[in-house]
Structure formats: structure tokens, C-alpha cells
Chain A
Amino acid sequence: MSIRQRDVLGQDSDQAPEARQSMYQSYALGLDPYQTREPKPAYQTYVAEEDPYQADECRRGPYQPHEQGYGLYQSGYSPYDDQIPDPKSRTLAIQNAKAYLLKSSTTSGLNLYDHLANMLTKILDEQPTNAVDIIENISKDVKRAQFQKKMDTLRDEHEILPTFEAAEKRKALFLKANGEEDEELEEEIGETPLPNVMETAFYFEQAGIGLSKDESYHIFLALKKLIDVQPIQTCRFWGKILGLEMNYIIAEVQYHEGEEEEETEEEEVIEEVGKGMDEVEDEDEEKEKEDERPKSTYKPPPVIPKEENGTGANKYVYFVCNEPGKPWVKLPPVTPAQIVCARKIKKFFTGRLDAPVVSFPPFPGNEANYLRAQIARISAGTQISPIGFYQFAEEEGDEEEEGGGGRDTYEENPDFQPLSVAEMVDSLSTWVHHVQSILKQGRCVWLNPFQKSEEEEEDEDEEEEKAEEPDELQQETGPPLLTPLSEDEGIQNIPAWTAQPSTNLIPQHAVAVLQSNRWPGAYAFASGKKFDNIYFGWGHKYSPENHTPALPPPVQAEYPSEPEITETRDPTLEEELAFKAAKEAALAAAEEEEDEEDEEEDEEEDD
């Protein structure tokens, strides 16, 4: 061992720090005494410190003046003075030590620093008793723990983002249907009923109306799917109605002729079953009672039959979906009762077609029927076209023959000359309604309900009086088809329609846009030969006054008034006395007559 190292482990205060530093220095120089030696020497010298003056080969410590090494290694005179470290190199030495500790083992890949840190952490966390005695075991455990995988008994569920789910639903829109060949496409391109939703969206966008491009495109694809599935002749994107939970996207469709008779049969069956149930119930009641209960003379107002599919309010068939990508649901045809009731109530749509409509007067149907009724009302009130686009077919007979119902069919005018945008905007008489308006009765064509009921009455009892029918209904008329908008009534001082061009700055490419004030959310545009209508809104009519719900009807009379059960005033005391006196007088008179008769008889017997 060199003298240097002997110095190192002594207790000489002067030399000790220098010696320690020189120890590190020697390590820095690559010497590693511990590789060849076990740490024993350190302990040995530690023990040996008790007796630093022992004559020992490994003796270090202060040299006495009589010894050999005295004076040779005084501070400042050591041959290694230039290597004695200043404070800066102390940090360097620390860093070197740390670097050494961080060196990974070639066999196991661990390094001492981390291992010591883990071990001490474990000890401090667990705080075992007599840690120093079991430290080797702890070290072994820590090393073994390296190879165990940390497994929690609970595992995170693979989270499916709702975005992913939504994308899956819409994916179907983007796939081509099986079996579609290019040949079919070429044939159909000229005649497809698919409307050009993007073009319409473009025109409406000029006025700031419409949905986002994404949504328009998805609706476009959804309509295409609808057309592929159903036998449709014409199709149009009618609009979007907002709801509480979900919204409705509505398509207006016309079938090929002869394609949709199945639905009507089903509905008639349902109605007949309903009637049968009522009759059965009545019969049961009659059998139960013994005495004849007074029969109710109440006759409900006659049910006005709905219009045939393809005419009037049921001219178009409507399909609904909540979102493009969801399946299209067909709405049932609308009945006049539903329209009449829908006029009296104002309810938000929830977005579920089977939701009940709780209202007064009770709505005959669920949300699907209410939706259909509102769509019918909105269409009748706000579907407009530029004048001259549609014309009446010339083969129609005289108007008088149809009972004043008016013409209900129209066709496109091949000679249509579009007016300029300025003209379309200035006056409302350049626009016409092309959907029949709905009468108060709930139909487009008036029907007298009592004509039909005469046939039914022949089967019923003859006792029922016909005199109880109300007075003959007056025939209702509405504005005929293709009336210009200038005839529309305004609401108080607001006109029914507001017209403006889409831009004042570029009149060459402006689009005439009309906005309905009676049905907020209904818009129409016209540009050259193109026009369209659309609806975006909540589905309610505008009224400046608050909605007042209908009051319940007055209480009905329970029984007819007859003299037997009519109450009269009780007789007063004088009347009673007078009545009594009169009675006694009558009795007295009667007795006198009897007496007289007896006397006469007696007299006769005497003779």
C-alpha cells in the first residue's frame, strides 16, 4: 500500500480531509483498491484508530518527530500538493462517485444507485424492526421484485368513444349498396328523384339559412338511401324540426302510383276493431241493468273522415329520422281531427315518435301524429313558388262541377319565364301557394259529414230523433290553389311574409328570399328557374298573444226536464189553509148530498 493511502485513513485532522480527497482522486485515476482488496482494511484501520501509535505496517496517523515520515508530508509540502483538491473539485468528486454508483451492471442491468434507493424506500415505507439484521434479505427481495409484473385486479375497460360510435352509425351512409352497377347509375342519372340538396343548401346559404355543410351532405346521402329502399317518384328535403331530446329531419315524398295501399288497409282494420269494441261494451251494459236506465241522448259530433292518400292534406308522404344515418320512419296520414286539435295546442316535440302528447283538448294520437299534423299545417301555409311555375292542367272540367272545391292538381309550366329578383322581392303577388290550404274542418276539400251518416243511421234504432242534429253545416271554402301571397292576411300590423334579396351589393347574382312571419322558420328562395322551400324551426305558429288553452266544455244536462220531476215552490200557509177549507167544503157538500139521498131513499122505503 502506498504511503498515500496510509495517510488517508488516519485521524490526523490536518491531513484527513486532504487524504480523503486524495482517496477519491486515486479512484478518479482509475485505481480501485476495493477490487483487489476487500473492505476489510477500512475496518481494520478503524479499529486500529484506537491505538494509532501501534507499530503496524498499515499504520497511519500522525508521525512523531522521531519517525521516518515526519515532516515529509506537511500541508503545503507534499509532493502532491498541486493535486490536492480545492472545493470545486469536491463537487466533481461527488459527481464522479454518483456516476460510479449509477453504472449499470453488465450481468443484471441494475445499478447500485437505484437499488440502494429502492431498498431504502422500501425500508422507510415498511419500517421493519431490526432492519440492519435483515438488510441482506431486503436487498434480495427488492431484486426479486424486479421480475414481478404489477397487475391490478381491476382492469380499465376499453373505452369506446362516443365519437367512434357515431361514426359507425354514419358509416353506413357512405357505403355503396350491394348490387349497384354502373349501368344502372347511368340510366338513372337523368331521372333520379333524389333532390340536389347541396344546391338548395347553397342558395339558402346566400341568405344565411341552413345547416352546416357536413350535415347537409349527410342528409343528402340519407335521402339517397331512402330512395334506394322505397319506390319513390319525387322526393324533397322538407326541413328540420327541433325537439327537446332529439331533432327531426323530414323528407317529403311521393310514391309511384299504386305503391302504397297496404298502409290504408291496416288503418281501416284498426278503426273497425275500435268500433267493435265499443259496441260490445254497450251490449254488456244493457244486459247488466234491470231497470231501463234513461238512455243518453248525447251524440258525439260525427267523425270527419280523413282524406285519401294522395289528395288534400295527405298528398305527400313524409319520412322522418332523428339523425342522418338512422333509419327512416314513415309518418301516418293525418286525420282532420288531428289537425283541428293541433290548432288548439302548442307543445314541444321531444324527439321520440312514440311519446304521448299530453294536452287539453286531448290530442288523438302520439307525437308521430302531432308531428304529421304540424307538418301538414306548415306545408299548407308556407309552401310557395314563383307565379307561373305551376299552372293548372287544361283538361280540368268546369269549377262548378266540383262543388266549389277548386282544382287540386297542377303541373309544371314548360313555358315558365322567370321574373327578375327585384320583381320577386318587391311585390308579393309574384309568389303563389301551390299547396291547398286546410279548411277549418281539417280537410282541404270540404265534406258534409251528415250525408254519409244517413246511411249509418238506417242500421241504428229508429227511435233516435234526427231532429237533434245541429243545423246544416255551411260549406267551408278556402282560398283556391295558386293564390298569390298578396292575399295572405298579416298578423296585426305585421305582413305575413318578409321578402328581401340575399345581397344588395351584387344584384346580378342575388337570390330572392322570403321569410314567413306566421310560421317562423319557413323560408323560400327563388333564383331564375330554381326555387325551393324549407323549414328550420320548432314547429309552432307565431302568435303575438299568449297561448290560451281551451276551456273545458260546459257541463251537460243530466236529464230532460219534465213536469214530474220539476221542482215547484212549496205552498205557503195561507194557500194550505185555503186548500184545506176548500176540501172541507167539498166534503161537506158531498155529505149533504148523501144525506139527502138517504133521506130520499128512506122516504121511498117508507111508502
Chain B
Amino acid sequence: MDEKEKEIYDVTMDLKPPRRDAQPCPALLEGTSPCPEGPGRAAWSPVLHRGRACVVFVAGSLNCVEWSLLPPATKEMVVQAEQLKGRFQGDPSFEYEYTEINAEDAERLIEDGKEPMIKEEARLVATIEQIDRAVGIIPRGAFVKTPLGSVHENRNFEGLSLTDAKKLSSYFHFTEPVNLKSKTLLEKADLDPSTDFLDSLEHDIPQGSWTVQLEKGGTVVVLRSLLWLGLTFYHVPMTKQYGYIYFGSGEKNLDLPFMM
């Protein structure tokens, strides 16, 4: 097998089906459904299969019937997509003219031999990657790190208690930690290395970019991100149910500091 095939083979071996207890959110909130038919809306609904923690496949669909595997996001794509503004068109093969955005880069690209275009597909994947990286969160204790360094699901996770569920410090970003090393030794002494190996939401910049609310008479805690409007995370305290979902236009809310 040549190298690329081998890579795919290895990776597909890790694919596990979605968790049995991944149910739809019990307090399903306002928002558009995941399967809009027709163009003009943010017409994608990603389905995440988690292999090992952090290998993610994204499949997209326009009508929830036919799904196609989207290419994984590269750093280049993310950088390019960050410069695009405006709504998604709804057509995965729509091409954005790069020249409008940055003429210099476009010229450079033309010299390199590539076309100064970005497909909407690439923008879509890059946006998903950005959202996951920036505001994908999990409750504390849901994943554990073994002494060997590998991370997996905690089968004994019983859910957060009600008092813990209202605190932002009980939720972590599900990406490589950034702030962890800069904590003082005193703070690190309080951490439990098996569960506290990720960044918590407490120190997110700007402060207050998460709203925490209790819905349904206090049985469900809902976190909404203000940086990516439309990202909603839910958790039923004292149970294993949690999850997050994004319904929105796929645009970052850069006005956040003015709005708070």
C-alpha cells in the first residue's frame, strides 16, 4: 500500500459510530432545522464522527439524504477563509473571487500557478474547523487523559452537579490547550491532571463571551457562544447527556466587544 492509502486505512479503522446516548437536545431551542431544502440558507449540517479524540470527519448535505465527505481543513484554507465576509451561498461549488479581497495575494497566487479562487466548499470546511476549535466545548470530566498521554472518553462520567453546571470553569475547550502552561504553580496544584488538561472557559477573551442559562425549570443548562452566534451547548446535570450544535450563518461576530 502506498503511503496515502495506508493513512486512510489507519484512520478509517478508528471510526466509531456515534455514541448511543447522543440524543437530540431535550430543550430544543429556536433556530432553523438542520435540513433546509434549497439554496439561500446556511445550507449545511455537519455530522461529526469522532475517531480518536481530535480526528474529525465532516460530511455535508443539502437535503439530509445525500451526504458527501468533505475534505479536511488545511491551515491555508483557514487563513484564506478568514478573509471572506458575507453569507454563504448554499452552493458548494460556488467560487469566491479572491481578487476582491486581497489583490496582492491574488497576484502572488497567479504567479504560483494557482487560481485566485476559493470554493465555497473550502470555506465551509474552514469555518467548521474554526468553530470547533474556538467554541467546541465539553464538560469537565467527560474526557480523561491517561498517564501515557492518550485521551479518551470517561465511561464513568456521571455528569456535573447542578452547582457546578452553572459555573464556566466546569467546561473546557475541546482543543489543544493554550493557557494551561501559563498558569501559576499554585493554580496548577489544584488541578487534577487526569481531567483538567484542557483550557477552561473562565479565561476566554473577551470575558463574558458565553451566556449560561437554565432551561426547562432548571433541568437543562444551556451555554451559548456570543463569538459565534448560533453555537449552543447543552448539558443535563447529573446525567451523561451533553452536546453542542451550531445553527447559524457561519460568520464570526467581530462586533462582540462593542456589543457587551
Q: Select B258's contact among A166, A494, A549, beta carbons within 8 Å.
A: A549
When A and B form their complex, what is the total count of cross-chain residue pairs whose Cβ atoms lie within 8 Å? 90
A246 in contact with B213 (CB, 8 Å): yes
The stretch of A210-218, A281-289, A448-456 that contacts the partner chain: A210-218
Q: Select B217's contact among A163, A347, A503, beta carbons within 8 Å.
A: A163
Q: Select A244's contact among B36, B208, B217, beta carbons within 8 Å.
A: B208
B36 in contact with A166 (CB, 8 Å): no
A544 in contact with B30 (CB, 8 Å): no
B30 in contact with A240 (CB, 8 Å): yes
Contact with A along B22-36 (1 / 0, CB 8 A): 000001111111111
CB distance from B104 to the nearest CB of A (A): 21
B249 in contact with A212 (CB, 8 Å): no
The interface on chain B, measured as residues whose beta carbon lies within 8 A of the other chain's beta carbons, has a size of 35
B87 in contact with A494 (CB, 8 Å): yes
Q: Known contacts being A346-B255, A500-B38, is A209 close to B217, with CB within 8 Å?
A: no
Residues of B within 8 A of A163 (CB): 217-219
Most chain A CB neighbours (cut-off 10 Å) among B31, B85, B217: B217
Cα distance, A283 to B227, chains bound together (Å): 51
Q: Known contacts being A162-B218, A163-B218, A247-B213, is A520 close to B40, with CB within 8 Å?
A: no
Contact with B along A495-506 (1 / 0, CB 8 A): 100101101100
Residues of B within 8 A of A162 (CB): 162, 214, 217-218
Residues of B within 8 A of A209 (CB): 30-33
B259 at interface, CB cutoff 8 A: yes
B218 in contact with A348 (CB, 8 Å): no
Q: Select A500's contact among B40, B87, B229, beta carbons within 8 Å.
A: B40
Q: Known contacts being A162-B162, A348-B259, A546-B255, is A500 close to B37, with CB within 8 Å?
A: yes
Contact with A along B3-30 (1 / 0, CB 8 A): 0000000000000000000000001111
Q: Known contacts being A170-B217, A346-B258, A348-B260, is A494 close to B86, with CB within 8 Å?
A: yes
Cα distance, A478 to B40, chains bound together (Å): 28
Contact with A along B241-260 (1 / 0, CB 8 A): 00000000100001100111
Q: Which residue of B lies closest to A244 (CB)?
A: B211
A207 at interface, CB cutoff 8 A: yes
Q: Select B30's contact among A161, A210, A504, beta carbons within 8 Å.
A: A210
B33 in contact with A207 (CB, 8 Å): yes
Residues of A within 8 A of B31 (CB): 208-209, 536
B224 in contact with A242 (CB, 8 Å): yes
A interface SS class: loop
Most chain B CB neighbours (cut-off 10 Å) among A210, A244, A247, A501: A244
Residues of A within 8 A of B85 (CB): 544-545
Most chain A CB neighbours (cut-off 10 Å) among B41, B208, B213: B213
A492 at interface, CB cutoff 8 A: yes
The interface on chain A, measured as residues whose beta carbon lies within 8 A of the other chain's beta carbons, has a size of 47
A295 at interface, CB cutoff 8 A: no
CB distance from A14 to the nearest CB of B (A): 58
Residues of B within 8 A of A494 (CB): 86-87
A538 in contact with B229 (CB, 8 Å): yes
CB distance from B81 to the nearest CB of A (A): 15
A515 at interface, CB cutoff 8 A: yes
A504 in contact with B37 (CB, 8 Å): yes
Most chain B CB neighbours (cut-off 10 Å) among A163, A167, A504, A549: A163
Residues of A within 8 A of B27 (CB): 212
A275 at interface, CB cutoff 8 A: no
Q: Using a CB-CB cutoff of 8 Å, which residues 162-213 of chain A contact chain B?
A: 162-163, 165-167, 170, 207-212
Q: Which residue of A lies closest to B249 (CB)?
A: A520
B142 at interface, CB cutoff 8 A: no
A517 at interface, CB cutoff 8 A: yes
Cα distance, A493 to B41, chains bound together (Å): 14
B216 at interface, CB cutoff 8 A: yes
A245 at interface, CB cutoff 8 A: yes
Q: Known contacts being A208-B35, A208-B36, A348-B226, is A167 close to B217, with CB within 8 Å?
A: yes
New contact pairs (11) apart from A544-B86, A546-B254, CB-CB < 8 Å: A162-B214, A209-B32, A211-B29, A212-B27, A244-B208, A494-B86, A500-B36, A520-B249, A536-B31, A542-B249, A549-B258
List residues of chain A with CB under 8 Å of any chain B CB. Answer: 161-163, 165-167, 170, 207-212, 214, 240, 242-247, 345-348, 492-495, 498, 500-501, 503-504, 515, 517, 520, 536-538, 540, 542, 544-547, 549
26 A–B contacts, CB within 8 A, in A order: A162-B214, A166-B218, A170-B217, A208-B31, A208-B33, A208-B35, A211-B30, A214-B216, A242-B211, A242-B224, A244-B226, A245-B213, A345-B258, A346-B259, A347-B258, A347-B259, A494-B87, A498-B41, A500-B40, A501-B37, A517-B87, A520-B249, A536-B31, A538-B229, A540-B259, A547-B259
Query: 10 nearest interchain CB pairs?
Result: A208-B33, A166-B217, A536-B30, A162-B218, A498-B40, A547-B255, A500-B38, A544-B86, A348-B259, A244-B211
